[in-house]
């Protein structure tokens, strides 16, 4: 009656062994390390780099425990955090700008475990310390930029086809194109229909056309904006020298940035939060005379222009609204010095940008061009030089009254790519490292002492059956940890609370079984029959109660966020493992010990 | 060892009116406090900034508040947090101030007063995120209720689903009432605790209903009330022991879990204690009053009876 076929024992044993193997990595702790990764697309990660890293460290008399080659970077294991900092400095000094050297914590799991995919649990920020940002992309601004560009394209196209245009205005997310009369409007409509495929064109009245972006086009703009911004963020994060950053899209217009282990949160926020982008506009030379400028100072700005009362070199500038080139067209930027040894920023455009820039400078020799740095919607004219000759090489130098630090900062911002649309931090969580370690210890203690208390109680109240229940609970815990480690789910402090809760809830199944067995014994059934009936009858109830808990857990996974989701994931996993261990493992032990005894009269319960 | 050995069934159902009135009264009190005092929503729901700082020696909230006021933050609330050397500073949302800069300025102001202060944790929730979390929380609650009701209606019968959900929502409201009365902080983790309690406390109802169903099959001559009494008495032992064990773990969390898990553990404790009460003494009377009879349990499909006794 109370016998399990051999294969069931083997399955259970295998599960327990796997549980042990995959939970082991969590005992090993972490070692400080540095990670060398390429900062530009030209820099290579190869054997030569590895040798160079080793040589640099040896020369600086920094002892290291090992060097690991990985496709995305070289990792060096070190003894302690002091050596870690020294190593970082030494390597950064030697490798220069082409590589970033980041501080990192590597798990000390031995090779043989790692080869089967056994890793320690992935700790969330509230256990590791670090920074978490949720950034919202200003989609309206992105759309406006796109509409500006379209306006220019429309003008150019119609001018090329020699169709006179009365004006182009923006109305919400539509563009209204005004013609002189119905005829030109017809002709214009034809041309635009061919050229502007990403808009639907409708006639407003005899002389006006309305262009509305198609839903497909809108989505494309959104996606492109997010992609561009994420790329920019990634570059900026790399500049910060953070290992294992997390940059993910969340929803249609948000980006999550997580920087584990970051100590200097001020700098992180500063670099990430800045949304500087470069724009090149033409200066409105026609209106740059005394009276118009003073009127502008008072607030009367000529239509089609923006007014900047001061620029970095001091004088007020009237700038045409249309942006001709933006940060997207920049290939690179670096700080350097100009001919008079003043700090300057050298900017390179990409092919498209270079082409446009060449055309721009060719058409406007003698006129002034304004180079604007836009931060959070406010623009600043960095410099407004006169275009002396066409610049076909795609390189421009930004000079002005800036310090070396200014030049470096501006270059960094430009180099990391400008944002296609401004972003704003709408949620931020910073956990100091000491709090992280403290949270882990608190969590572990809660689980541990709860488990001990339950074990003691079960052993006293249900005696041997209680002990079996406690062992099953232990196996449950083991398997839960193993599964969490294996799937690398993020463990947060609420997640550890969920582990504790699982311990408390899982014992329910065993209590049900044990109570049922006692009842059967009291009703006069034989020991074997009682054991059997106890397990059978209890199973349906156990299933029902676990399913209801599971439903609660799933709802939390769907609608929770951050730490709460971590809680829910652990809860659900715990329910699954408890279904396995509470019934099968404890029954296996019962069957092993009592199963053989034919004439069983007494059960220790 | 056995605590709960009952020779005869305790006639719970004869006290049904009394127990339900007690529940109703506690429920009404909770609603009253929720309406008047309202919940003390944590920063995740209201938006704003929470900063936790650690001093080397004991921290004085008053001094810190002064230092902040000098730097221009006049609407901050500063309290001790856990130990005497930790402070928690709460600041509501301000128009036009980006949090990113806010925490830096705050730390600067505090450092001016006491250079060794250490920043432990900063949380900034923007207004939209806060609102979304409230909506998401409400949706989660709704989904859990619906999901559980659907499952119970499928496993037993609609009367049971209704009775179970009423009893357990009653628990949830009582927990919220406690939080409103004592003005404990209602954070996202507490919401998670509340939802867990909902799932967990439905267990109780399920165990009792399961027993009732079994009794209907076994005892053909008893009245519905007697069957229910028997079911509750028989499962009482298990109910109290399980809740006791879970509470042991929660107590462990209360002692060792630190401040962050403190309110979470409180919500769980209240849920567990009232859960016993409501699931046993509230859901069963409701089932009775909704007119449950033997036929509802023993449906003409014998297949269901067979499957309920299948081997695991």
pLDDT, tens digit (0-9, with 9 covering 90-100), for A576-595: 998 888 888 888 888 888 87
| B77: phi then psi, degrees, rounded to nearest 5 | -120, 130
Q: Which of B147, B148, B261 sits opposite A493 (nearest CB)?
A: B261
Residue of A nearest to B210 (CA): A541
Nearest CA in chain B to A442: B257
Closest chain B C-alpha to A3 CA, distance in angstroms = 13
Last residue of a domain, one of A218, A235, A252: A218
Please indicate whether, in this complex, the C-beta atoms of B203 and A560 are within 8 angstroms of each other.
no
Give the confidence band of A477 by pLDDT, cuts at 50, 70, 90.
very high
Q: Is A390 a member of any domain? A: yes
| A residues 257-276 lying closer than 8 A (beta carbon) to B | 265-266, 269-270, 273
Are B52 and A435 in contact (CB < 8 Å)? yes
Give residue-wise pLDDT tens across range B220-233. 788 888 888 888 88
- A239, part of any domain: no
Which A residues, 438 through 477, put their C-beta within 8 Å of a C-beta on chain B? 438-439, 442-443, 445-451, 453-454, 457-458, 460-461, 463
Please say if the pLDDT value at position B142 is more than 60.
yes
pLDDT score recorded for residue A420:
62
Residues A321, A421 share a domain: yes
Q: Is A212 on the interface with B (CB under 8 A)?
A: no
Query: Given an 8 Å threshold on Cβ–Cβ distance, is A560 in contact with B140?
Result: yes
Q: Name the band, by pLDDT with cuts 50, 70 and 90, for residue A474.
A: very high
Q: What is the pLDDT of residue A312?
A: 55
- Give the residue from B151, B251, B253, B311 with the most A CB atoms within 10 Å of its CB, the best one to mutate: B253
Among chain A residues, CA nearest to B307: A540
Closest CA to B192 of A533, A566, A540, A148: A566
Given a cut of 70, is residue B96 above it in pLDDT?
no
Sign of CA dihedral A494, A246, A261, A136: negative
Tell whether A372 and A421 lie within a shared domain: yes
Does position B302 have pLDDT exceeding 90, yes or no?
no
Q: How far is A21 from chain B (nearest CA, A)?
A: 26
Q: Are B246 and A507 inside 8 Å of each other by CB? A: yes
Report chain B residues whose CB lies below 8 A from the CB of A438.
Answer: 258
Q: What is the pLDDT of residue A360?
A: 81
| pLDDT score of B77 more than 60 | yes
Q: According to the per-residue pLDDT averaged within each range, which of A68-77, A82-91, B28-37 is highest? A: B28-37
- Does residue B304 register a pLDDT over 50? no
**What integer is the mean pLDDT of B76-101?**
75
Clarify whether residues A12 and A61 are in a common domain: no
Supply the pLDDT for residue B177.
92
**Chain-chain contact of A269 with B104 (C-beta, under 8 angstroms):** yes
pLDDT in tens, A206-216: 778 888 888 88
Cβ separation of A428 and B123 shorter than 8 Å? yes
What integer is the mean pLDDT of A448-459? 91
Tally the domains of chain A. Answer: 4
Mark whether A442 and A573 lie in a shared domain: yes
For the cut 90, the answer to whether the pLDDT of residue B114 exceeds it is no
Output the pLDDT for position A481. 92
Does A512 contact B122 at a Cβ distance shorter than 8 Å? no
Residue A419 and residue A373 share a domain: yes
Least confident range from A162-166, A270-274, B247-251: namely: A270-274
pTM: 0.73
Domain annotation covers residue A43: yes
- The CATH number of B12-41+130-308, from 3.30.479.30, 1.20.1640.10, 3.10.20.70, 3.40.1230.10, is 1.20.1640.10
Q: How confident is the model at residue A479 (pLDDT cuts 50, 70, 90)?
A: very high
Average predicted confidence (pLDDT) for chain A: 79
Å between A20 CA and nearest CA of chain B: 23
Interface of A with B in 87-146 (CB under 8 A): 134, 136
Mean local confidence (pLDDT), A470-476: 92
With a cut of 60, say whether residue B186 has pLDDT above it. yes
Nearest CA in chain B to A515: B238
Parts of chain B belonging to CATH 1.20.1640.10:
12-41+130-308
Residue-wise pLDDT tens digits, A182-212: 888 888 788 778 777 777 888 877 778 888 8
pLDDT in the model for residue A473: 92
Taking the alpha carbons at both ends of chain A, their separation in whole angstroms is 19
On whether both A464 and A415 belong to a single domain, the answer is no
pLDDT tens profile A507-533 = 888 888 888 888 888 888 888 888 888
Q: What tokens were used for B177?
A: 């009432």
With contacts defined as CB-CB under 8 Å, which chain B residues touch A501? Answer: 196, 246, 249-250, 268
Is the domain of A368 the same as that of A321? yes
| Interchain proximity B120–A507, CB inside 8 Å | no
Whether residue A571 sits in one domain with residue A451: yes
Instruction: Give the H/E segment covering residue B259.
Output: helix B258-281
Cβ A188 vs Cβ A194: under 8 Å: no
pLDDT at B264 over 80: yes
Does any domain span residue A256?
Answer: no
pLDDT above 70: percentage of residues in chain B: 88
Banded model confidence at residue A274, pLDDT cuts 50, 70, 90:
low
pLDDT at position A273 is 63
Taking CA–CA distances from B121, the nearest residue in chain A reads A431
Nearest to B248 among A457, A512, A561 (CB): A457
- Residue A152 lies inside a defined structural domain of this protein: yes
Fold of B48-124: Alpha-Beta Plaits (3.30.70)
pLDDT at B265 over 80: yes
Helix A433-486 crosses helix B224-256 at what angle (to 10 degrees)? 130
**pLDDT in the model for residue B108:** 81
Give the pLDDT score at B43: 80
Q: Please indicate, yes or no, whether residues A523 and A389 belong to a single structural domain of this protein.
A: no
Among residues of chain A, what percentage have pLDDT more than 90? 5
Residue-wise pLDDT for A21-53, tens only, equals: 888 888 877 777 888 877 654 567 788 888 888
Q: Do the domain assignments include residue A605? A: no
Q: Is the pLDDT of residue B176 over 80?
A: yes
Mean pLDDT of A333-343: 78
Max Cα separation, chain A?
A: 113
Q: Are residues A416 and A386 both part of a single domain?
A: yes
- Residue A251 falls within a domain, yes or no? no
Chain A (33-52) residues lying within 8 Å, Cβ to Cβ, of chain B: none
Q: By CA distance, what is B51's nearest residue in A? A: A430
CATH number at residue A482: 1.20.1640.10
pLDDT value at residue B300 = 47
CA–CA distance, B199 with B210 (Å, rounded to integer)? 17
Mean pLDDT (whole number) for A384-403: 72
Per this entry, what is the length of chain B?
312
pLDDT interval class at B305 (50, 70, 90) = very low
Chain A residues within an 8 Å CB radius of B140: 555-556, 558-560
Q: How far is B252 from chain A (nearest CA, A)?
A: 5
Helices and strands (DSSP H and E) totals, chain A: 17, 23
Q: How far apart are CA B116 and CA B19, in angstroms?
A: 57
Domain shared by A545 and A480, yes or no: yes
Name the least confident of A145-159, A358-372, A468-482, B177-191.
Answer: A145-159
Minimal C-alpha gap between B127 and chain A (Å): 8
Ranges in chain B annotated CATH 3.30.70.3400: 48-124
Domain that holds residue A77: 31-107
Question: Of A363, A397, A427, which residue constitutes the final position of a domain?
Answer: A427
The reply to whether A446 and A407 lie within a common domain is no
Mean of pLDDT values over B14-23 = 80
Interior/surface letters B184-196, b for 16+ CB within 10 angstroms, e for the rest? bbbbbbbbbbbbb
Task: Flag whether A540 is in a domain.
Answer: yes
Identify the DSSP state of A152: H
- Give the C-alpha separation, B249 to B197, whole Å: 14
At B310, the pLDDT band (50, 70, 90 cuts) reads: very low
**String of b and e for A51-82 (b: at least 16 CB within 10 Å)?**
ebbeebbeeeebebeebeeeeebbbbbbeeee
pLDDT at A562: 67
* Domain final residue pick, A383, A400, A427: A427
């Amino acid at each position: 009656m109370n016998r399990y076929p051999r294969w069931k024992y083997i399955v259970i044993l295998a599960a327990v062994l796997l549980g042990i193997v995959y939970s082991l990595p969590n005992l090993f702790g972490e070692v400080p390390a540095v990670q060398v990764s390429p900062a530009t697309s030209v820099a290579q990660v190869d054997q030569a780099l590895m040798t160079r890293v080793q040589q640099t460290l040896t020369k600086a008399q920094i002892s290291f425990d090992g060097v690991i080659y990985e496709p995305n970077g070289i990792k060096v294991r070190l003894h302690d955090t002091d050596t870690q900092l020294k190593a970082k400095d030494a390597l950064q000094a030697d490798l220069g700008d082409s590589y970033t050297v980041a501080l990192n914590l590597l798990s000390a799991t031995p090779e043989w475990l790692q080869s089967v995919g056994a890793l320690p649990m992935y700790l969330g920020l509230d256990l590791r310390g670090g920074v978490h940002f949720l950034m919202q992309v200003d989609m309206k601004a992105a759309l406006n930029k796109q509409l500006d560009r379209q306006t220019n394209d429309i003008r150019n196209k119609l001018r090329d086809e020699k169709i006179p245009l009365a004006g182009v205005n923006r109305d919400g997310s539509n563009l209204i194109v005004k013609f002189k009369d119905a005829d030109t409007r017809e002709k214009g409509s034809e041309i635009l229909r061919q050229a502007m495929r990403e808009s639907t064109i409708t006639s407003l009245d005899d002389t006006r056309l309305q262009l509305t972006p198609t839903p497909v086009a809108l989505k494309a703009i959104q996606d492109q904006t997010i992609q561009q911004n994420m790329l920019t963020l990634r570059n900026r994060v790399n500049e910060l020298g953070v290992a294992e950053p997390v940059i993910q899209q969340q929803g249609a217009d948000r980006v999550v940035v997580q920087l584990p282990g970051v100590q200097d949160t001020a700098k992180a926020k500063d670099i990430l939060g800045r949304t500087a982008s470069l724009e090149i506009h033409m200066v409105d030379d026609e209106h740059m005379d005394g009276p118009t400028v003073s009127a502008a100072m008072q607030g009367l700005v000529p239509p089609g222009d923006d007014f900047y009362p001061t620029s970095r070199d001091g004088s007020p500038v009237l700038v045409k609204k249309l942006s001709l080139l933006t940060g997207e067209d920049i290939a690179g930027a670096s700080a350097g010095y100009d001919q008079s040894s003043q700090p300057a920023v050298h900017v390179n455009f990409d092919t498209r940008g270079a082409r446009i820039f060449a055309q721009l400078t060719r058409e406007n020799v003698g006129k002034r061009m304004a180079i604007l740095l836009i931060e959070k919607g406010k623009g600043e004219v960095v410099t407004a030089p006169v275009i002396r000759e066409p610049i076909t090489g795609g390189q421009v130098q930004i000079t002005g009254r800036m310090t070396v630090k200014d030049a470096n900062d501006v270059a960094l911002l430009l180099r990391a790519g400008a944002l296609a649309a401004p972003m704003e931090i709408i949620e931020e969580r910073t956990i100091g490292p000491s709090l992280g370690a403290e949270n882990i210890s608190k969590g572990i203690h809660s689980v541990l002492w709860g488990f001990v208390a339950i074990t003691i109680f079960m052993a006293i109240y249900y005696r041997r059956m209680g002990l079996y229940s406690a062992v099953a609970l232990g196996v449950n815990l083991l398997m839960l940890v193993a599964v969490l480690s294996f799937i690398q789910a993020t463990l947060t402090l609420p997640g550890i609370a969920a582990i504790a809760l699982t311990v408390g809830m899982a014992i329910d199944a065993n209590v049900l079984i044990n109570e049922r067995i006692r009842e059967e014994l009291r009703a006069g059934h034989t020991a074997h029959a009682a054991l059997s009936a106890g397990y059978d009858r209890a199973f349906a109830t156990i299933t029902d109660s676990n399913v209801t808990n599971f439903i609660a857990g799933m709802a939390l996974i769907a609608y929770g966020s951050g730490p709460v989701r971590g809680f829910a994931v652990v809860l659900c996993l715990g329910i699954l493992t408890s279904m396995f261990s509470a019934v099968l493992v404890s029954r296996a032990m019962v069957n092993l010990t009592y199963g053989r005894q034919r004439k069983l009269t007494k059960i220790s319960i | 060892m056995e605590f709960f050995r009952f020779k005869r069934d305790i006639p719970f159902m004869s006290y049904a009116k009394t127990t339900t009135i007690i529940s109703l009264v506690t429920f009404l009190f909770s609603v009253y406090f929720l309406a008047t005092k309202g919940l003390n929503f944590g920063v995740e729901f209201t938006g704003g900034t929470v900063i936790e700082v650690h001093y080397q020696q004991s921290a004085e909230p008053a001094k810190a508040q002064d230092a902040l006021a000098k730097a221009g933050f006049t609407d901050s609330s500063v309290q001790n947090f856990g130990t005497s050397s930790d402070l928690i500073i709460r600041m509501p949302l301000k128009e036009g101030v980006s949090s990113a800069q806010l925490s830096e300025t705050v730390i600067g102001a505090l450092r001016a007063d006491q250079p060794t202060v250490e920043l432990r944790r900063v949380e900034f929730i923007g207004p939209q995120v806060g609102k979304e979390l409230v909506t998401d929380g409400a949706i989660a609650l709704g989904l859990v209720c619906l999901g559980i009701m659907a499952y119970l209606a499928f496993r037993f019968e609609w009367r049971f689903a209704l009775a179970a959900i009423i009893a357990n929502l009653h628990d949830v409201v009582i927990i919220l009432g406690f939080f409103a009365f004592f003005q404990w902080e209602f954070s996202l983790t507490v919401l998670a605790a509340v939802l867990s309690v909902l799932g967990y406390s439905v267990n109780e109802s399920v165990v009792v209903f399961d027993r009732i169903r079994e009794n209907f099959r076994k005892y053909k001559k008893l009245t519905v009330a007697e069957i229910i009494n028997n079911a509750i008495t028989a499962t009482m032992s298990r109910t109290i022991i399980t809740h006791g064990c879970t509470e042991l773990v929660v107590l462990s969390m209360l002692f060792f879990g630190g401040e962050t898990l403190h309110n979470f553990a409180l919500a769980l404790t209240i849920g567990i204690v009232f859960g016993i009460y409501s699931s046993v003494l509230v859901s069963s009377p409701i089932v009775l009053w909704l007119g449950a009879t033997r036929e509802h349990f023993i449906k003409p499909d014998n297949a269901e009876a067979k499957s309920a006794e299948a081997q695991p």
